[in-house]
Structure 1
Amino acid sequence: MIVVMFLAQAGRVELTVGDIALGMALAILLNMGTITVPGGFPVVATLPRHVARPHA
């Protein structure tokens, strides 16, 4: 996401402060847990489905 914003600004695309803040927030959210576990975000995204279903 950061690279996309950099390329947009390098290509003279005007980004508002809101666009930059949204990009930063998305980059942080999408990279949570992936520092130590590759593909950690899909695991976090599917976790509520497994937690909400009690085992019989």
Structure 2
Amino acid sequence: MSFLGNLKRKRAELIEERRTQATLKAASLGATPEQARRAGDRAARGNTNAAITSAINT
């Protein structure tokens, strides 16, 4: 695999891990499944703190 291929794979893994962590944290703080999923999606885009806060406050 090329150097760029490795970078893309690593980045995808980090994004997926960030999504999973945000989803689990939002769910553990009382978010509905839909809110937790949206929090994970926002976290994958890079807005982790806002995603979790929004899931809790909605």
TM over 0.5: no
TM-score, normalised to structure 1, is 0.38
Structure with the bigger RCO (C-alpha within 8 Å, sep 6+) is 2
Larger radius of gyration: 1
TM-score, normalised to structure 2, is 0.37
